[in-house]
Each structure stands twice: as C-alpha cells, then as structure tokens.
Amino acid sequence: MARSAILGSSLAKKYWMALTGLFLSVFLIAHLAGNLQLLDMSPEGQLKFNAYAKFMTTFPVVKAVSYLLYFSILFHAFDGILLAFQNRKARPVRYAKENAGANRSWASGNMALLGTLILVFLVIHMKRFWYEMHWGGLGLDADGNKDLYAVVAAAFSELWYVALYVASMAVLAFHLLHGFQSSFQSLGLNHPRYTPIIKSVGVFFGVVVPILFALIPVWMFVNR
C-alpha cells in the first residue's frame, strides 16, 4: 500500500476518533449534571433522581441519542485500538526517552492503555447500573418509579466499589487531559489565538469533570 494511503487512513481514523471523542465529552457533562443529583440523599432527592432516570430511559429523543452514544463508545474504542496497532507498526521502535518530555506528555503516549482501562470500567459500570435499570428486577419507589437510587446507594456502600470509581476517574482524567485538546488538532482546528484557550479549557475539563464524578461515590459512602 502506498505510504500516502496508509497516512490517509490513519488521518481518517484520527478524525473519527476526535469527532466521537468530543461527542462522548458532551455526554460526560450531561451525565455528570444528572448524577450530581445523587448528592441530595434526602427521601425527596431519591424520588427526584428516580423520576429523572425514568425520563432518561423512556423519552424517545433521549433514547435515540443513547443509541448514538453506544455506537460512539464502540466506534471510539475499536478505532482507537486499530490506530494504536497501526502506529506501532509504522514506528516499531518507540520514541526515545529523551523525546518523551519534550512535546509528548505521558498521557499522549498511553492513550490506548488509558482507553482500555476506561472500557473495563464501563463494562463493570454498565453491568451494575445500566443493565439493572433496563433488565434487572428493580423495586419501585413511593412514586411507582424503578428505584435506581437504591441500586446506586447499595453499590457505593461498598468500599472497594468506591475505590474502583475513584481510581477509574483518575484514569479518565489523564485520558481527557490529552484527548480533549488533541481532538481539536485532529480536526485541523489550529489557531494562534484559540488553541491556547482550547488547551486551558481541556485542562479544566480533564481535572474538574473526573473530580466531580469521583465526589459522588465518596459522598454517598461517607453519608450512607
């Protein structure tokens, strides 16, 4: 295969990684906003969270976006693994140590590893919450909605589960710290004035979003 074709397909992969990655970042903000309701552990707060979960699993537009989300997760994961193999093949000798700090962060060289760990987290996460919500035999709350709050509270009453979430959010932070700003580069959105702003927003996003996610299990464990 011609070198340009290989490069072209690698660029195409990066492009789709960037688009799906940005979509997943938007999902993360929405998911975080919804889950922060869990910090209100009062009986009313619990009912509100269950009503919200019902809306999110039954409203047709949200359901349609969910299918796009599942597709994006799978596409982003498989495309990322293919890209990592392709890069390894094109560059069998990894970057020398002295180059590593210059313009490549540790996260940028380990995106596939970080992504794989997030995928493992997602399988465990969706089995416990998403699968239970859709197909588990959940009890009903006082309003007659599925009691998803009880499922989350039970999970976050286990110390190892809380530790798993906190560790996974650290992994997510490193993945986002490189991924967010890198996706703009992959889309060719480079600008002397805006690129530094995008990088700052990326650092804020990569630090604040995982910390707020990690706060939820810790808060629920401490106040259980």
Compare residues 6 and 211 and give the one whose CB is closer to ligand HEM. Answer: 211
Least Cβ distance, residue 147 to ligand HEM (angstroms): 11
The Cα–Cα gap between 105 and 39 comes to: 34
CA angle 61, 120, 170 (to 5 degrees): 90
Q: Min. distance of Cβ 172 from ligand HEM in angstroms? A: 6
- Please give the single-letter amino acid code of residue 196: P
Residue 31 interacts with ligand HEM (CB under 6 A)? yes
- Give the nearer residue to ligand HEM in terms of CB position, either 38 or 111: 38
Evaluate the CA torsion angle 40, 42, 153, 56 in order and state its sign.
Answer: negative
Q: Give ∠ CA 4-72-1 in degrees, rounded to 5.
A: 15
Our CB check for ligand HEM shows the closer of 94 and 158 to be: 158
Between 83 and 172, CB nearer to ligand HEM: 172
C-alpha closest to that of 90 among 18, 19, 13, 31: 13
Residues in the site for ligand HEM, rule: CB under 6 A?
31, 35, 38, 53, 56-57, 66, 69, 118, 122, 125-126, 129-130, 133, 148, 152, 165, 172, 213, 216-217
